[in-house]
Structure 1
Amino acid sequence: MANLHDSGTGTPEISKVGIIGAGVSGIAAAKQLRNFSPIVFEATDSVGGVWKHCAFHSTRLQTPRNDYEFSDYPWTPLPDYPPPENDSATFPTHLEIVEYLENYARHFDVLKFVKLNHRVVEIKYLSDRKPTYYDGMWGDFGKPLSGDPAWEVGVRTPLSEDIQ
């Protein structure tokens, strides 16, 4: 269980699922677990993970575009970022990857779960309650683990050096 104290009200925000990072895996996990209203803690000011904040903006994907797309969200080349002359659109640019990830997050409405500028600095296990199963809410990929563990997640934001 993710627990985040809302700095606006002072009351804790509680979720069944906490996800650290809004990169490729984080936004995919948030989409898959959206019925649980996850909280996605992202340390930076945007989604995209290492693709958004990499040091070299000339970086291109080293695997073909179709091997890197989400199965439920096809990737089409962006007209504003054509491939360099004598190059194939098979290997997208850094900007295309960032745009694709941002569009994916927008398309599946997972941005509402993302807490930008919330750096996770500690995680504390609180307890394990009785087993709970979520029949009817789970996706197509099985059932959640048994048990009902509770965790407290400490985050730091630019508004405060205190751990919330």
Structure 2
Amino acid sequence: MEKQVAIVGAGISGLLACKYTLSKGYCPIVFESRSSIGGVWTKAIETTKLQTPKVFYQFSDFPWPSSVKEEFPNEHQVSGYLQSYARHFDLLRHIKFNSKVLSISYEGVSDEEMQSWSVWGGTGEPFSNKGRWSVLVEDNQSHSTEVYQVDFVILCLGRFSDVPNIPEFPPNKGPEVFQGDVIHSMEYVAMDYASAAKFVKGKKTTVVGFQKFALDIAVECSIANGVENPCRVLYKTEHWNLPNYLPWGVPLAYLYFNRFSELLVHKPGEGFLLGFLATILSPLVTFPFFFLSSFP
């Protein structure tokens, strides 16, 4: 009997998980809350481009098409690349769109027994004959729910999964006392390019933040308003935004975007030698963050 694997999310990680579970002879079912694949690339602002050179942002078994000449492809090119990958490996038929996972629970084993497990299934094996996972899924269109019984669950939600990071304000010092419009970047990106330009047109805008998304939005606001209504950018700590793949000319990507990076983390059933290497090499995991923070 084929083992069924539930995969939550049809972004890049979800597509990879689907492709490789198929290659292992399993039966994957991917639950995607949106109507298309791509994760964060499903909807992005018009001026968004890949911030990593495309040679470092591609599937190992599916290179970028020759028609994409740019070193940093735009959102439409990235989205098209992901669509091509899904079609090439026939992944779309395994994806249930507009399907939001509401809950996941493990059925068939008591809570006391599960709490005593230190490894998967109590045995270290991903598939257990003691129970199965119950995945409660809601259809976004009909709002009906259905429970799926599967043998294993892979979460591919990502760190930017529709959860806005909004600060808490003291009473009477938040957006409610501000006379203008206050929106989160997720609300901005939900607009199309023309609607977003119309929304900010003729307004004095301020963007809070200094990461790539904030700067992309600031650029769009500046394009819409010109020098008549300049866009201001507010950020907490003064610093330079530098490419994290080539600081001071040091190609850090070559250290992490290869098989060597697998030696830096502990893995189930790794044995003494791999465990020893992961322990002594673990400082390299955080090295880029400390290195980049040294910039003034």
TM-superposed CA distance for 1:58, in Å, is 1.4
Q: Is the 8 A contact 2:100 2:140 kept in 1?
A: no
* Structure 2 match to 1:147: 128
Letter in 2 for 1:93: N
1:33-44 → structure 2 map (5 Å cutoff):
33-34=21-22, 35-44=25-34
* Structure 2 match to 1:7: none
TM-superposed CA distance for 1:22, in Å, is 0.6
1:122 aligns with 2:110: no
Offset from partner CA, 1:46-76 (integer Å, 9 cap, x none) = 111110123x131111000010000000112
Listed as ranges, the gaps of 5+ residues in structure 2 are 110-120, 147-296
Q: Secondary structure at the match of 1:70?
A: coil
Q: Alpha carbons of 1:146 and 1:21: their partners in 2 closer, same or farther (altered >3 Å)?
A: closer
Q: Which has the higher strand share?
A: 1
1: CA distance, partners of 2:3 / 2:98? 18
Q: Secondary structure at the match of 1:125?
A: strand
What is the TM-score when the length of structure 2 is the normalising length? 0.40
RMSD of aligned C-alpha atoms? 2.2
Listed as ranges, the gaps of 5+ residues in structure 1 are 1-13, 83-88, 132-142
1: CA distance, partners of 2:125 / 2:77? 34
2: CA distance, partners of 1:26 / 1:57? 24
Which residue of the other structure, out of 54, 67, 79, is the alignment partner of 1:98?
Answer: 79
Which residue of the other structure, out of 34, 39, 42, is the alignment partner of 1:49?
Answer: 39
Which residue of the other structure, out of 8, 20, 23, is the alignment partner of 1:32?
Answer: 20
Q: How many residues were matched structurally?
A: 129
* Structure 2 match to 1:110: 91
Structure 1 stretches of at least 4 aligned residues deviating more than 6 Å after TM superposition: none
* Structure 1 match to 2:65: 76
Q: Is the 8 A contact 1:117 1:158 kept in 2?
A: yes
TM-superposed CA distance for 1:108, in Å, is 0.4
What is the TM-score when the length of structure 1 is the normalising length? 0.71
